[in-house]
């Protein structure tokens, strides 16, 4: 066992030795396999109709890679965009903004706390209490989830610990989905590749995940991949989330950390992060340089920030045996949310970021709500919700 730990630590140190600060160029494509998750797409592929079926296939591969901003929206049956209005039909404009907030209340063990009434919730926007207009708890509604997976030659080399851990996390989560849930698979290294658009056909999902075998490049464009998926999903209605399986490192994105963070806040899609290689990092800690150690600390902070500010959660498992409990926590948080909507008192269309805070209070006195367990003892709890939204701008 001691020898195994030494070998594992040595392997991670070997990988860490090749970590650049932030390289401007990639590995030569000629030296890579032809079938990788980084296979580029055509630029001239027409955008799919937003009202088309969710099972529409991805665009075919081509010699050059497009910009993430050039790619069309992922089709979804929940999208209302693109529907033609019959000629002569009267149209109306509404100046009222409605804000939707998905809230999960969890105990100190991460379990969802049910049966909390509407009157106990208080929503603050920029510290101003808001009047809740609608409140629901529909746990049977289908979910729309995009799984974004880091898959590069730095940490996911075939048969390595990172490769095994990544596939275990990805395949394990797919098995927790319900038949009516829509699911997309996205992988990234030097580029972002949509392996499977949203679909309820699990065979298409597993076929797409067969591409997760041989990594192509050693770079990671996590900021670009996550921001692009969040923006694509922002127009999808219903329960939605991004599952991010990654080390948290970014070496090649066009977006900076601050721009990616702002983009995620504006999209309002909760991100649930599962960190990779925690155990190997612990074993190799004594052999890491200060810069390498800081690199991974920043990676953990990024995963945690993206999750917290989007209304999701971040998990840092040390063993693959922790994955089932993580899947359950994510499923409980998504399927047992309290859905709250309100019309903000500040209706100014100024494009500014508004801070949100959701509290549980006793309506009789306004004090924090006291929740007890089955034995009548006070229970500690946490509230998971997005931390804000960006107000719309006035359209001239």
Q: What is the pLDDT of residues 260-309, one digit of tens each?
A: 999 998 898 999 999 999 999 989 888 889 998 999 999 999 999 999 99
Range 205-223 average pLDDT: 93
Would the pLDDT of 226 be above 90? Answer: yes
Same domain, 268 and 247: yes
What pLDDT is stored for residue 132 in this prediction?
92
Confirm whether 149 is domain-assigned.
Answer: yes
| pTM across the whole model | 0.71
Report whether pLDDT(222) > 80.
yes
116 and 195 belong to one structural domain: no
| Cα–Cα dist 258/127, whole Å | 24
Number of separate domains in the chain? 2
User: Could you tell me if residue 343 is inside a domain?
Assistant: yes
What does the pLDDT look like over 72-127, one tens digit per residue?
444 444 344 444 445 544 444 445 588 888 898 888 877 888 889 999 999 999 99
Residue 76: per-residue pLDDT: 45
- Residue-level pLDDT at 174: 95
Parent domain of 343: 99-137+337-390
CA distances from 232 to 63, 236, 240, 263, 266 (A): 24, 8, 12, 11, 12
Residue 358: is its pLDDT beyond 90? yes
Residues 228 and 246 grouped into a single domain? yes
CA-to-CA distance for 28 and 157, rounded, in angstroms?
Answer: 17
190/207 same-domain check: yes
- State the DSSP code for 61: B
Task: Specify the CATH number for the domain of residue 291.
Answer: 3.40.50.410
Answer whether residue 71 is part of any domain: no
Closest CA to 100 of 243, 262, 235, 264: 235
Which structure tokens are listed for 212?
Answer: 């997760």
Q: Report the distance separating Cα 192 and Cα 151, nearest Å.
A: 10
The last residue of one of the domains, among 334, 352, 380, is 334
Give the least confident one: 123-137, 254-268, 330-344: 330-344
Report yes or no on 48 lying in a domain: no
How far is Cα 222 from Cα 353, in angstroms, rounded to an integer? Answer: 23
Q: What are the tokens at 263?
A: 């983009």
Q: What are phi and psi of 65, to 5 degrees?
A: -95, 135
Query: Which position has the higher pLDDT, 57 or 394?
Result: 394
| In a shared domain, residues 285 and 373 | no
What percentage of residues in the chain have a pLDDT greater than 90?
49
Residues 114 and 231 in one domain: no
Is residue 174 in a domain? yes
240 and 319 share one domain? yes
Nearest Cα neighbor of 305 from 276, 333, 265, 247 is 265
- Same domain, yes or no: 133 and 156: no
Q: Among 334, 350, 375, identify where a domain stops.
A: 334
Mean pLDDT of the chain: 80
Lowest mean pLDDT among 55-69, 162-176, 191-205, 215-229: 55-69
pLDDT value at position 153? 93
Indicate whether 317 and 176 sit together in one domain: yes
Residue 241: pLDDT over 90: yes
Rounded Cα distance, 36 and 192, in Å: 11
Domain-embedded: residue 300: yes
Contact criterion met (CB below 8 Å) for 178 and 138: no
Residues 228 and 371 in one domain: no
Helices (H) and strands (E) in the chain, counts: 8, 14
Q: In what order do the strands lie in the sheet with 121-125?
A: 128-129, 121-125, 353-360, 388-390
At 377, the pLDDT band (50, 70, 90 cuts) reads confident
Residues 126 and 147 in one domain: no
- How far is it, in rounded angstroms, from Cα 47 to Cα 271? 26
Residues 341 and 357 in one domain: yes
75 lies in some domain: no
Assess if residue 257 is contained within a domain: yes
């Amino acid at each position: 066992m001691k020898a195994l730990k030494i070998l594992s630590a040595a392997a991670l140190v070997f990988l860490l030795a090749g970590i650049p600060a932030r390289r401007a160029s990639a590995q030569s494509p000629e030296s890579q396999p032809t079938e990788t998750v980084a296979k580029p797409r055509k630029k001239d592929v027409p955008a799919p109709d937003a009202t088309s079926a969710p099972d529409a296939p991805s665009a075919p591969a081509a010699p050059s890679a497009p910009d993430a901003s050039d790619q069309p929206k992922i089709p979804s049956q929940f999208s209302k965009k693109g529907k033609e209005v019959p000629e002569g039909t009267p149209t109306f404009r509404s100046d009222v903004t409605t804000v939707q907030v998905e809230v999960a209340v969890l105990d100190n063990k991460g379990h969802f706390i049910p049966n909390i009434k509407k009157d106990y919730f208080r929503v603050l926007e920029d510290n101003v209490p808001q009047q809740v207009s609608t409140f629901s708890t529909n746990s049977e509604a289908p979910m729309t989830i995009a799984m974004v997976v880091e898959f590069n030659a730095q940490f996911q080399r075939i048969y390595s610990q990172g490769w095994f851990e990544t596939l275990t996390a990805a395949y394990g989560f797919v098995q927790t989905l319900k038949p009516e849930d829509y699911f997309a698979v996205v992988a990234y290294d030097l580029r972002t590749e949509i392996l499977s658009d949203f679909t309820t056909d699990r065979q298409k999902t597993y076929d797409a995940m067969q591409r997760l075998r041989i990594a192509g490049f050693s770079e990671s464009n996590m900021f670009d991949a996550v921001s692009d998926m969040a923006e694509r999903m922002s127009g999808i209605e219903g329960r939605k989330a991004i599952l991010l399986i990654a080390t948290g490192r970014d070496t090649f994105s066009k977006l900076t950390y601050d721009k990616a963070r702002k983009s995620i806040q504006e999209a309002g899609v909760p991100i649930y992060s599962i960190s990779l290689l925690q155990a190997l990092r612990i074993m190799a800690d004594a052999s890491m340089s200060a810069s390498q150690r800081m690199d991974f600390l920043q990676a953990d902070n990024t995963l945690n920030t993206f999750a917290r500010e989007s209304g999701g959660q971040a998990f840092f498992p040390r063993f693959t045996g922790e994955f089932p409990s993580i899947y359950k926590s994510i499923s409980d948080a998504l399927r047992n949310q309290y859905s709250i909507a309100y019309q903000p008192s500040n209706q100014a269309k100024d494009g500014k970021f508004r801070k949100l805070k959701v509290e549980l209070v006793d309506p009789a006195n306004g004090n924090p709500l006291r929740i007890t367990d089955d034995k009548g003892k006070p229970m500690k709890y946490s509230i998971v919700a997005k931390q804000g939204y960006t107000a719309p701008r006035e359209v001239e």
